[in-house]
């Protein structure tokens, strides 16, 4: 009985079909999506010399505690979106101003079809923009002229909508894209007019 040599073309086709199956799988559950964003941000910070600890759900207000190379401790709330729709769900508690050591990291996983994007934004900017956008949404009539009802959903957008305040510009948002500069220099509300 002779052993035949494996056909590399068939092996390659099989591996490609496995990749196709993996890509075609349905959306991961929300816990895995959230974990992916948290681990991603922790890895970005760790690769830049930060000491990071994930709270693994044991702290309601933040997901990561990080110590900057200069020794300052910061807290980061991570919000992760599976789709690349530029919208991150928040709640009314995110309208409340937090300490200057608190930041939000918004991660877009883009269905794993493209490289992920992240935005690390001071909490003051997030709370102010979310509060003002929600107020604008409430005061604007709906598509059929009806009044919007109060909602527990708040949205942070990586592309401004008609409800976002005028100071919340695309340039401002883009200044936080794939950058950790906000946590490096205690920026806070310096960009908010």
How confident is residue 99, by pLDDT bands cut at 50, 70 and 90? confident
Residue 103 · residue 73 · CB < 8 Å: no
Q: What is the Cα–Cα distance from 23 to 157, expressed in whole angstroms?
A: 26
Q: What is the pLDDT of residues 119-160, one digit of tens each?
A: 999 999 999 999 999 999 999 888 888 988 999 999 999 999
pLDDT the model gives residue 189: 46
How many percent of the chain have pLDDT more than 90?
A: 66
Q: How many CA atoms lie within 13 A of 103 on its CB side?
A: 28
The answer to whether position 172 is within a domain reads: yes
State the DSSP code for 32: H
The answer to whether position 12 is within a domain reads: no
Residue 152 · residue 138 · CB < 8 Å: no
As a whole number, mean pLDDT of residues 88-113 equals 91
Residue 176 · residue 187 · CB < 8 Å: no
pLDDT the model gives residue 133: 94
How many percent of the chain have pLDDT more than 70?
A: 83
More confidently predicted of 19 and 116: 116
More confidently predicted of 154 and 15: 154
The answer to whether position 17 is within a domain reads: no
Q: What is the pLDDT of residues 29-79, one digit of tens each?
A: 999 999 999 999 999 999 999 999 999 877 778 999 999 999 999 999 999
Question: Sign of torsion, CA 108 160 130 104?
Answer: positive
pTM: 0.81
Nearest one of 83, 82, 80, 47 to 66, comparing CA atoms: 47
Pairing of strands 73-81, 102-108: parallel
Q: How many domains does the chain have?
A: 1
* CATH value at residue 27: 3.40.1350.10
**Angle (CA) 165 171 175, round 5°:** 115
The answer to whether position 127 is within a domain reads: yes
Residue 90 · residue 155 · CB < 8 Å: yes
Q: Is the pLDDT of residue 4 over 80?
A: no
What is the residue range of 134's domain? Answer: 23-191
The answer to whether position 7 is within a domain reads: no
């Amino acid at each position: 009985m002779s052993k035949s040599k494996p056909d590399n073309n068939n092996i390659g086709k099989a591996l490609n079909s496995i990749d196709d199956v993996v890509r075609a799988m349905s959306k991961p559950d929300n816990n895995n999506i959230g974990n992916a964003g948290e681990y991603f941000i922790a890895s970005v910070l760790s690769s830049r010399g930060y000491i990071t600890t994930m709270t693994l759900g044991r702290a309601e207000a933040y997901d990561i505690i990080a110590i900057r190379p200069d020794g300052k401790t910061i807290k980061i709330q991570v919000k992760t979106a599976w789709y690349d729709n530029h919208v991150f769900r928040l709640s009314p508690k995110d309208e409340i101003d937090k300490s200057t050591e608190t930041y939000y990291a918004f991660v877009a996983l883009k269905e794993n079809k493209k490289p992920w994007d992240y935005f690390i934004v001071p909490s003051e900017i997030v709370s102010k923009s979310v509060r003002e956008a929600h107020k604008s949404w409430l005061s604007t009539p709906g598509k059929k002229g009806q009044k919007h009802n109060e909602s527990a959903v708040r949205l942070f957008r990586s592309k401004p909508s008609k409800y976002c305040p005028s100071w919340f510009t695309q340039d401002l948002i883009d200044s936080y894209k794939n950058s950790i500069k906000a946590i490096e220099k205690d920026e806070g509300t310096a960009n908010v007019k």
